[in-house]
Structure 1
Amino acid sequence: MAAGSRAMTKVSLRNVGAHKLRLSLTVLAVVLGTAFIAGSMMFTNMLERTFDSALATRYENADVVVEPGDNASAVPRKDFDELAQRGGVEKVNVSGMVIVVAARTNEQAIQTRQGMSMSTLYYAPDDAIGPSPDIVEGRAPEPRPVTEGTAEVILNRNGAEFYDIKLGEELIIVDTGARQTVTVVGLYDDEVTQETSLSFRLPESDYLDFYVADETVPGMTLKASDRNGAQGLVDSMMRDYPELSVRTGEEAAKKASESVREALSFVSYFLIAFGLVGLLVGTFLIANTFSMIVAQRTKEFALLRALGASRGQITRSVSLEAFIVGLIGSALGIGAGVGMVAAIKWLLGSYGMPLPAGGLGFSTDAALAPIVVGVIVTMLSAWAPARQAGQVQPVEAMRSSESAAPQPLTQRTVIGGVLIALGVAAAVGGLLWVDGRTASRAMLVGIAAVAVIAGVFLAGPAMSLPIVPPLGRIIGAPFGTAGKLASTNTQRNPRRTSATAFALMLGIALVNIIGMFGASMKYSVDNVAENEVSAEYVLAGPVLGAFPIPNNLMERIPEVEGVGDVAAYTEAPLTVNGEYSAQVGEFGSTSVLYGDPSDLITMDMVDGTSTLEGNTVIAPREWAEARGWSVGDTVTVAAPGVSPEVVEATVEGIFENSSILTAVVVSEDVAQQISVPGTVNIIMLGVSNDGTVSSDQLRKNLEQAVKSDIVVQVQSKDDISGEVLDLIDQMLFILYALLSLAVVIAVLGIVNTLTLSVIERRQEIGMLRAVGTHRRQVRIMIILESVQMAFFGAVLGIVLGLSLGWAFLTVLADQGLDRIVIPWSLVGWMLLGSVIVGIIAALWPANRAAKTPPLDAIAD
């Protein structure tokens, strides 16, 4: 028995070596799927290593890290002074970083594109805890002798070179509260900060003067005079300062690293999801390939059975071939993953978004996981064909042909039909369950999608019979006999036709679902900007909502010529009756408005007034009804973890549901009473025209008024929607680029199927050539077969994608996507693209078929 197993192993190994062509494309499918998984893991590793390096540098040599406690935003200055003088403490450094906007002295902001500008602290080597920046040009900054003087800073050299900032140049640095003038006196090397970012380092006294409220510091690191006594120092400080967060430097670095890894896990899951989509599509290609190979080797397996090989030995021999293919493909996929990460780094760098130096993220996990997944997927894909091979009877050796015998479709068609029916029922249930939670309804539609896709895979061969042959006759009509033969050939083996088209169908369905989401989101953004923004111009920071603008604009802007009503919007960590307007994990916020919200946003008042004066709140109708609120009711506003104060406010008005204001809104008077001074900053400000000047003149007046603020941009409704639409387009581009992997694998599936079909039909093609069929006609026949399969897959994918997309968007209507838009241009491009894909995929197999020697083929 052992000798027989060894013999079968040799047969498997020789088959892999002897049939390189018919297995190479299957290997390539495994390579593409595993490359994405390997690349995603390496990319995440690279980012994690970069951040870990930065965190290790930040906490290097820090024995103790002190940060504000749970109910505070800063460390009291008296605690800082006391700890600096505490016994056992050798050094103390302030820790902190502030996002800023940098500008030239002509008040022209430096656009940092995908980077950022920040201010942090500089300590000389003798005073620094951890490494001090390596100044490569110029000198270290000196503290200002007087508080009104120009501060000295050093700047990361790569950023200075990128933005052409010279030594000795004066710049303006603007934060959310003020603007400062600084002089660049030195440049330093920084491997962590990318070249599109600017990192200003200031002496401690200047940093505290610019960015820290009086009598506080943001945080600090301490170095113990005796390293062995560091833990004792931490313990004593925790006992004496229970209101502060005190940890060892090692603990602080570990916690920060865990937070970074948790944040980056989304990137990893996102990329791995697309890798699994690629493997899913590749699974059908692999299974199809092995099925065809098994069918073509029927005589070989029958002879082996006649020579004494058991069913199990035959099945194991095919499984061994699959194992080898999976192993080789996965190993090559790891190399392709390295190349993918390198390509991403190069691409981001060429578009002005360079990643910091962090290697390519290769690790043991990033190598082992793709190999395990790739091998398992390949063996699972080959399991059914392997069992089919084991069931070959010895009598099959007497067949004159090795082509696949037709198999009944009844059983799989019935099962497929039942799955499709169950999927449709689940989708209808999710759509009709109007009182259910959105997440539950979406889950039902997701289950429906899986069931329908599985059903289409099983029922696909039967579905292709009434569609593909007539389609083939229409497409092939202009090509005469070659067209008729192509139509007949796709009809002869509906299993193969369906399996080949299915991979393309899945890729196109995903593209259409994403396309519907994108088109509906863009319509929603346009609709909100056009119908719900009442302000003629909106004043906001460089990135809408991400950088606050000066609070004194509420006093300054009404004085500008042509300005009518003014209202401003922000968010603050406030609760109303214990609830935030929006909450993510432990963090929450509530909308705060200055003035009358209707001057900024179109509001349809159901009851009361929209004017927010004194201790008042307003709420959307659904929010108020769910909580039993009416105009005149009293609610409690608090700021948990920020302030012990509690304010009672009156419900001043209730308005129809809005896409912009989706929850309760608090007046600025209430927010100022219970928030820490300086934490309620304006995010955007709306301005209307009083009619005395034209719209263009009002814009010019506003731009002139805020020029010195540097951080303020004047935007029309079209500008705002255009900015958001650009972000949606970028997101769609990334998703389409990732989904193209599935389409590429599907194209390879067509190439693979046609190549194996040509090998299987070698004798048939030889006979056609012998009776006078020209090479050109053979090429046309193979190309038409490919176009039929690709077009069939595209039609199925479009129907499935639009149906599932419509179902998902319907249950998500209450999330703001209340209008479903079908991207007809995308649908048209998909259909045209399928024809082009069919032609391209068939070129090499068609050329191979046309070169078939007639006499040799007949002799075989």
Structure 2
Amino acid sequence: MFRTALRNVLAHKARLLMTVLAVMLGVAFVSGTLVFTSTISDAYQASSQKGFDRVDVAVQPRSAGDHRGAPGRTPRLDRKLLDAAARVPGAASATGTVSGFTAIADKKGALIGDGFSTRGGNYFPGKDGTDARYPLRDGTAPKGPHEFALDAHTADKAGYKVGDTVRISVDGPVREQKLTGVFTTDDGTVAAGGSLALFDTPTAQKLFAAPGTFSEIDVTAAPGTSQTALKAAVDKVLPKDGAEATTGRQLADEQAKMIAESMDGMKTGLLAFAGIALFVGVFIIANTFTMLVAQRTKELALLRAVGASRRQVTRSVLIEAFVVGAVAAVTGLAAGVGIGAGLRALMSATGATVPDGPLVVSPSTVATSLLVGIVITVLAAWLPGRRAAKIPPVAAMNSVHATATTKSLVVRNTIGALFAGAGAAGVLVATGMSDGKVVMGGGAALLLIGVFILTPLLSRPLIALAAPVLRAFGISGSLARQNAVRNPRRTAATASALMVGLALITGMTVIAGSVQKGIDKMATDALKADYVVSMASRTPLSPAVEKQLSGLDQVTAVSPLRNSPARIGTGTAYLTGVNGPDFGKLTRLDFTQGALGDLRGDKVVVDDATAKEKGWRPGSRFPVTYEDGKKGTLTVSGVYRGNEMLSGVLLDNATLAPHQKQITDMQVMVKTKDGATDATKDALVTALGKNPAISVSDKQDVSDGIAKMFNLMLNMLYGLLAMAVIVAVLGVINTLAMSVFERSQEIGMLRAIGLDRRGVKRMVRLESLVISLFGGVLGIGLGVFFGWAAGELISGHLATYELVLPWDRMGMFLALAALVGVLAALWPARRAARLNMLASIKAE
């Protein structure tokens, strides 16, 4: 039986090629995902490890996770603590560091690097006058407030040399600094395309922290001193509640863990779509083996007649599947390694920050890929093999086509109806829940499986709707309709592959379009301001920018947004400061209780979620402990609907500013005389010194910025789900090719009685078109339902959410389904038309 199974594999190379391709694509997706995420994760971890090479113990503020610490406390790492750490037993040296966002403009004024990868820090010379972290390649170390040094990678890319004047920005205003030195560094962020600027320590402290303070103190151990021993010594000189010491090894491990966790989300998302591709591939594999087994029914019956048992017949089919799965898994693994390398190159090409590092193909990736390919194929072939073994030998010899019994169809339809009903009910119930993501996901999966099981039942009435159109093509159209419904199970398995892919694509398109509409509406409804000014990196903005804008003739109203931590009751919250007199001219808040009124003094307005949590209403008074530790009492004058742009407790900056230790703006809202025009925007950009670090955005820009992540996710989904559609195309080709082989006698008879080659081609193409459109209609219908249901959940968090049906894209998806049908039929139709009619009639 083993030799028989191998002979069958080699005898049906062409028929099994499509199955190998289907499995290979799924495995390639899985292995490519694992290779890509492992490579990126290891590169980031190696990069972070380099950052701790010279750190044996790091001293950090105890509340480092908070931007300014808890109200009333100011952790300070000062020179006194630095000197004390340097003198502890076992310490070789101590380095005080400060860092923050620093935008470097190229010679054309554009930002070098992107966002948080553009950083600045301090050059901290040791006893020999140099900083071992940053060896100087050219020039000298920076001294004074107007000098700085730049990493060699950025300097070479921008064409800067020692002595050049470079425009930079740290918190808003443009600074012109003299480049005094170019240094080399093994910093992974710089190697990945970021930039690093260094200032002398007093200048860096003024820019990124506070005069005389550090963000971190790094202590290096003397030879023979362990990190643990050094930490114990450093702990003795630390203030009781202001700072904490951590070993470099622990910091590296925590960083590696954070990187691994951040990559887990990407890995899970990519593997989910790999699973979809495999899920679609299962239909094709099962369909392929069902047809292969059906075509060999007589052969298998003969084996049974000469003594083979049911178990041996089933085993022979599974051996075929194992061989096919193994070949596909190996080729898929090789293709996946290429996909992983390509994804990394693509990220680098699009400007993403990716550290250098080798391509990582771990043993677990190899094992997973082989296991997935082989197990999926064997499982998909098990049911057809078992079904073939149960056919009595005499019955199999009498009929090549063993039709499904009425009992089996009733059982299938009953199970399908139960699954679909339970799934639809789960989805509908989830729409009324506050957090029904898990219930909705389970219901959607059940509904998808239920519709797949019911597809044979649905195929006849839905395909019958195409009969009037098919009649226009004469006898070829009539034969195509009959062929499409002749074997409902085969048609269903072929159409389901396309159905799954289009259901997901349509659902995500509906959700993304509706969210975009909601965000556009939110930006239009909530903002009266013409522009919002912020840092490109979303880091705090200097208050000087607001003063500069308010002094312009074309500006009629301006309000910065400032965040400050505070203690309200027993919890910590953020207060948002605004310009009370102008705030009503710049926003259009939807108040559910009270009104904005005169936002001055102790008056505040709060979002509905906070008001509900605290039990506040207009007139409610509550105690507050400000950032500097001073206490006060605030009064609620109104409750508004919070949104992605504005939420929390809003009060006048005149009330908040005296309690802030360092005043910075998150963004500045601006109203102008002439409204949002290109000329006005250019004037604002010019007034701000054409600063590459500052973003001037109108309402549409704000909306696009919020929706950017949704659009990025949608584009990724289109690319990933394209894999499922490709697999579906292979399925249609596979089904038609085997159908042509199975109907060789029939096609020969049709040719003999007058159907020409063109008519045969048209028949096969129309059959393919009908099956593909059937899958497309089901997929788009399910996608719209899923999109609507998910939107009901989203609307609970986005008040302006509005269902949008993208008719143009849905039409494009249906056209895509039709194109799949036409392209998939090219080779089978040509093969059918070239069959020798006499040889076909004589074929067994």
TM-score normalised by the chain length of structure 1: 0.89
1:163 to 1:725, Cα distance in 2 relative to 1, 3 A: farther
In structure 2, how many angstroms separate the alpha carbons of the residues matched to 1:449 and 1:345? Answer: 33
Q: 1:185 — aligned with what?
A: 181
C-alpha root-mean-square deviation of aligned residues, in Å? 2.9
Q: CA deviation at 1:604?
A: 4.0
Query: In 2, are the aligned partners of 1:151 and 1:206 still within 8 Å (CA)?
Result: no
1:661 paired with 2:646, answer: yes
| 1:280-338 Cα shifts (integer Å, max 9, x gaps) | 11111111111111111111211111111111121122222222222222222211111
* Residue of structure 2 equivalent to 1:4: none
Q: 1:668 to 1:381 in 2, by over 3 A?
A: farther
Please state if 1:63 is matched with 2:56: yes
In structure 2, what residue type is equivalent to 1:421? G
Distance in structure 2 (CA, Å) of the matches to 1:134 and 1:11: 70
Output the CA distance in 2 between the equivalents of 1:191 and 1:123: 16
Pairing 1:807–2:806 present:
no
Q: Deviations over 1:68-115 (max 9, x none)?
A: 223566523211111123332112233443211123589x34353578
Q: 1:93·1:129 contact (CA, 8 Å) conserved in 2?
A: no
Which residue pairs with 2:171 in the alignment?
176
1:91 aligns with 2:116: no
Quick one: which of 478, 483, 505 aligns to 2:477?
Answer: 483
Q: Which residue of 2 aligns with 1:754?
A: 736
- The separation in 1 between residues aligned to 2:597 and 2:158, in whole angstroms, is 47
CA distance in 1, matches of 2:729, 2:115: 35
Letter of the 2:111 partner, please give it: I
Q: Is residue 134–residue 189 contact of structure 1 (8 Å, CA) maintained in 2?
A: yes
CA displacement at 1:181 relative to structure 2: 1.0
> Do structure 1's residue 165 and structure 2's residue 160 form an aligned pair?
yes
- CA distance in structure 2 between the partners assigned to 1:429 and 1:631 by the alignment: 35
Aligned match of 2:559 = 567
The one of 617, 620, 645 aligned to 2:607: 620
Secondary structure class of the residue paired with 2:796: helix
In the alignment, structure 1 residue 551 sits paired with structure 2 residue 534: no
Residue 464 of structure 1: aligned partner:
459
- Write the letter of the residue equivalent to 1:620: D
Instruction: Give 1:446-461 correspondences, 5 Å limit.
Output: 446-461=441-456
Please state how far the C-alpha of 1:203 moved relative to its aligned partner. Answer: 5.1
How far apart, in 2, do the equivalents of 1:290 and 1:324 lie?
Answer: 13
Please name the residue that 1:102 is paired with. 104
State which of 77, 80, 85 in structure 2 corresponds to 1:78.
80
What is the deviation of 1:494?
Answer: 0.7
The change in CA–CA distance for 1:62 and 1:121 in structure 2 (over 3 A counts) is: same
Map Cα deviations across residues 132-189 of structure 1 (whole Å, 9 max, x no partner).
Answer: 4566xx5253241xx34x32413232x3343343454221222127646130532536
Cα distance in 2 for partners of 1:782, 1:550 equals 69
Q: Deviations over 1:629-650 (max 9, x none)?
A: 12232223357xx765554322
Give, in angstroms, the shift of residue 491 of structure 1. Answer: 1.5
Q: Is the 8 A contact 2:172 2:545 kept in 1?
A: no
Q: Does 1:702 align with 2:684?
A: yes
Q: Please list, as runs of the form range in 1=range in 2, the aligned pairs for 1:572-583 lying within 5 A after superposition.
A: 572-578=564-570
1:112 aligns to 2:113 (yes or no): yes
Aligned pair in 2 of structure 1 residues 664, 307: CA closer, same or farther (>3 Å)?
Answer: farther
Structure-2 separation of matches of 1:551 and 1:690: 22
Number of the residue aligned with 1:5:
none
CA contact (8 A) 2:97 2:216 kept: yes
Q: Which shows bigger deviation, 747-756 or 90-99?
A: 90-99
Matches within 5 A, 1:601-640: 601-605=587-591, 606-621=593-608, 623-638=610-625
Matched with 2:66 is none
What does 1:695-774 correspond to in 2, within 5 Å?
698-699=680-681, 701-707=683-689, 711-725=693-707, 728-774=710-756
| Residue pair 2:171, 2:535 contacting (<8 A) in 1 also | no
- 1:30 match: 23
* Match of residue 293 from structure 1: 292
Name the residue aligned to 1:234.
231
Listed one character per residue, the Cα deviations across residues 206-242 of structure 1 (whole Å, up to 9, x for unaligned) are: 5445433123111122222233444222112224425
Residues 132 and 222 of structure 1: is their aligned pair in 2 closer, same or farther, counting only changes over 3 Å?
Answer: same
Count of equivalent residues: 825
Tell me which amino acid in the other structure corresponds to 2:755. T
Is 1:595 the counterpart of 2:595? The answer is no
Q: Which deviates the most, 115-124 or 52-61?
A: 115-124
Equivalence for 2:495: 501
Per the TM alignment, residue 340 of structure 1 is displaced from its structure 2 partner at its CA by: 1.0
Hey, what's the Cα distance between the residues in 1 that align with 2:751 and 2:339? 44
2:337 maps to which residue? 338
Point out where structure 1 has 5 or more consecutive residues left out of the alignment: 1-7, 582-588
- Counterpart of 1:413 in structure 2 is 413
Shift in Å, 1:554: 3.7
C-alpha contact 2:231 2:247 (8 A) present in aligned 1? yes
Give a deviation string over 1:641-684, Cα, whole Å, max 9, x none.
Answer: x7655543222332355563344334435654555x22x52121
User: Counterpart of 2:814?
Assistant: 831
Conserved? CA contact 1:140–1:154, under 8 Å: no
What is the rounded CA distance, in whole Å, between the counterparts of 2:37 and 2:624 in structure 1?
A: 41
Paired amino acid for 1:46: T
Q: Could you say what secondary structure the match of 1:142 adopts?
A: coil
Q: CA deviation at 1:700?
A: 5.1
Change (3 A) 1:261 1:407: same
In structure 2, the CA distance between the partners of 1:697 and 1:747, relative to structure 1 (3 Å rule), is closer
Q: 3-state SS of the aligned residue for 1:777? A: helix
Q: Tell me whether 354-363 or 752-761 shows the greater mean CA deviation.
A: 354-363
Percent of aligned pairs with the same residue?
30
Q: Is the 8 A contact 2:423 2:445 kept in 1?
A: yes
Name the CA distance, whole Å, in 2 between partners of 1:620 and 1:714.
26
Q: Contact 1:57 / 1:130 at 8 angstroms: preserved in 2? A: no
Distance 1:718 1:755, change over 3 A: same
Shift of the 413–530 alpha-carbon distance from structure 1 to 2, 3 Å rule, reads same
Q: Which amino acid aligns with 2:255?
A: A
SS at match of 1:567: strand
1:784 to 1:258, Cα distance in 2 relative to 1, 3 A: same
Is 2:779 the counterpart of 1:797?
Answer: yes
| 1:772-791 equivalence runs, <5 A | 772-791=754-773
1:3 is matched with which residue?
none
Contact (CA 8 Å) 1:114, 1:352: kept in 2 or not?
A: no
Aligned residue for 1:707, secondary structure, equals coil
Partner Cα separation in structure 1 for residue 122 and residue 604 of structure 2 = 41
CA-CA distance at 1:696 after TM superposition: 6.3
Structure 2 vs 1, CA of residues 126 and 342 (structure 1 numbering), >3 Å: closer, same or farther? farther
> Is the 1:162–1:196 contact (alpha carbons within 8 Å) kept by the matching residues of 2?
no
Identify the residue that residue 388 of structure 2 maps to in structure 1: 389
Write the distance in 1 (CA, Å) between the matches of 2:260 and 2:34. Answer: 12
Q: Which has the higher contact order (CA 8 A, sep 6+)?
A: 2
Q: Which residue of 1 aligns with 2:838?
A: 855
Secondary structure of the residue that 2:688 maps to in structure 1? helix
Answer yes or no: is the 8 Å Cα contact 1:59–1:130 preserved in 2: no
The aligned runs of 1:502-517 (5 Å cut-off) are 502-517=496-511
Choose which of 50, 56, 70 in structure 1 pairs with 2:43: 50
SS at match of 1:24: helix
Q: Map of 1:159-308 to 2, 5 A cutoff?
A: 159-176=154-171, 179=175, 181-183=177-179, 185-186=181-182, 188=184, 190=186, 192=188, 193-194=190-191, 196-202=193-199, 204=201, 207-208=204-205, 210-241=207-238, 242-243=240-241, 244-308=243-307
Confirm or deny: 8 A CA contact 1:61 1:130 kept in the other structure. Answer: no
Q: Distance in 2 between matches of 1:12 and 1:284?
A: 22
| TM-score with structure 2 setting the length | 0.91
Alignment partners' CA distance in 2, 1:557 and 1:187: 37
Instruction: Name the aligned partner's letter for residue 6 of structure 2.
Output: L
CA distance in 2, matches of 1:370, 1:74: 52
- 1:818 maps to 801
